[in-house]
A and B are shown apart, each in its own frame.
Chain A
Amino acid sequence: MDNAQLMKGVLEGCVLAVIARGETYGYEILGILESAGFSDLGEGTLYPVLTRLDKAKLIVCRKAKSPLGPVRKYYSITDEGIAQLAAFRARYDAMTKSVNRIFTEGENEHDEL
């Protein structure tokens, strides 16, 4: 399984978490995700995610002039988005616990052998 496949499932939740910190824009989200270790985001995967979240009304978008001049899209989270983020965190925690349990059990069995 490649990195992109693994990332697909969690990217929406992570983007939502970044936007939940405060109003932000595409370039900034990209930078935060990259510094957190999402290195393969360059190939335009972020923008369809933003559109999906916007269409699902989990985030809202407003257009305003950026300090550099061009009109920029600023994203902020909605109440629905906050609820969805909480649900994602709960699901993600449960899943990582399960995955960790499998890995630990596997390692223990390996040690016993």
Chain B
Amino acid sequence: MMNYETMKTQLTGDFRAVFDKAQTYLMTSQFPTQYQDDKMMELYDLLFTAQTEQKAPEKIVGRDSAAFVQNFFSDYESGWKTRLCSIADACRRMSIVVLVILFIDCMINLNAGTGFFASRTDVSMILAGVLGGIAFLIVNQYILRPASLKSRKIRNTGWAFIGLGLFIVLIPVDVILMHDVELRVPTAALLIVTGAYLVGYYVIRSIWRLKTYGSLRDPQKAEKPDSYYTALPDRDLEHICMKGMLKRYERLARRGKIAEDAFLEKMQREEKMSRYCDYVMIGCLLACTLPSVVKTACESTLFHTLFYIAVTGLCEFGIYKLFSGSLHKASAARMHIYACCKESGMTLPAYLESQMNAQ
């Protein structure tokens, strides 16, 4: 999804308020992501152009911003094909969650000594999740959406918190309601069904994309990397990095611990160190996992061991990606700042200050 928050930072006053309202409207609607991105991009262009040309917001939006937002998104028509696609996509997302739950269940059963084919999973909680999700969608559609459109005081973040609060309330209600219900099904069968669905979904989607676009990738998504929007978060990230570095320099300089011309070298050294830390983190993850793999290999069959390795590997890879993704992005932003600083011939603190003032 596009970074709407960053787009919003480029808008001011009433233009920003309209964009905010549109964002809230999308949050409480169930439009496909592609449609949302397309429309928000169009809205951003409209508002940004009007703002640059110093046009009065009423000329663009009219007197009623809620009516504007509703009209703006009123062209969405969901035919049976769109509905089918969105249901299939919702099932895909759910299948992935179910698959993760099943893997965890399998791990517990295997460790308890139950065989893979003999283990059974209680799906009542999955069912509770689905029912809770449906309840959430209904409340969203009929209560939150109309209220958010009328509201003038609460902004997008406020509505996001209200939605989140409602979701958090629904989870314990779900759990309490489904407490006495138990629906045990064979884990292996459920694994095969969800796995088969996911494989089927991706195969059909690939065939359709090949036929429609002549490529496995969605060309509408491919237009983003080159676009103006992907550059925005990096600019934000660089700004945050610069602010942090400048603060750090001021703190060190106050204590007399660093000379202005030595700051760049110090930062680059630290960057190098953080890369080593990355390797250390991978090493630690592997070292922590290895004994449990050896233990499983000694106590279980080859199939169980391989299964254990696959699941643990997948989980650890996920954790690593989750943490390292943003760290790598920040590191790339810092490296870009150092390179620009070197090119400018200034000291790092002077360069940071000049850039911050320019912004």
Footprint of B on A, CB under 8 Å? Answer: 25-27, 30, 34, 40, 42-45, 47-48, 51-52, 63, 65-66, 68-73
Contact = CB atoms under 8 A, between A and B. Distances in A.
Sorting the interface of chain B by its residue count into under 10, 10 to 19, 20 to 34 or 35 or more gives 20 to 34
B75 A51 contact: yes
Contacts of A44: 61-62, 67-72, 74
Given A51-B75, A63-B223, A73-B42, 18 more contacts: A27-B45, A42-B60, A42-B63, A43-B67, A43-B68, A44-B69, A44-B71, A44-B72, A47-B42, A47-B72, A48-B74, A48-B75, A65-B227, A69-B228, A70-B44, A70-B48, A70-B228, A70-B229
A71 B227 contact: yes
Nearest to B57: A42
A27 B50 contact: yes
Contacts of A25: 45
A70 B229 CA distance: 7
Interface in B210-269: 223, 227-229
A42 B227 CA distance: 28
Given A45-B71, A48-B71, A70-B41, A27 B46 contact: yes
Nearest to B48: A70
B59 interface: yes
B58 A42 contact: yes
The binding surface of chain B is classed by DSSP as helix
Contact of A34 (B41, B44, B46, B59): B59
B33 interface: no
A42 B50 contact: no
A41 to B, nearest CB: 8
Contacts of A65: 227-228
Interface of B: 41-42, 44-46, 48-50, 52, 58-64, 67-72, 74-75, 223, 227-229
B227 to A, nearest CB: 5
Contact of A43 (B41, B50, B62): B62
A51 B73 CA distance: 10
A107 B315 CA distance: 83
A68 B75 contact: no
Nearest to A47: B72
B48 A42 contact: no
Nearest to B2: A71
Q: Which 6 pairs, one residue from A and one from B, show the smallest C-beta to C-beta distance?
A: A42-B62, A44-B71, A43-B62, A51-B75, A44-B72, A48-B75
Given A34-B59, A42-B58, A48-B74, A68 B48 contact: yes
B144 to A, nearest CB: 21
Nearest to A66: B45
B229 A71 contact: yes
Most chain A CB within a 10 A radius of its CB, from B48, B70, B229: B48
Contacts of B69: 44
A26 B45 CA distance: 9
Nearest to B64: A43
A68 B45 CA distance: 9
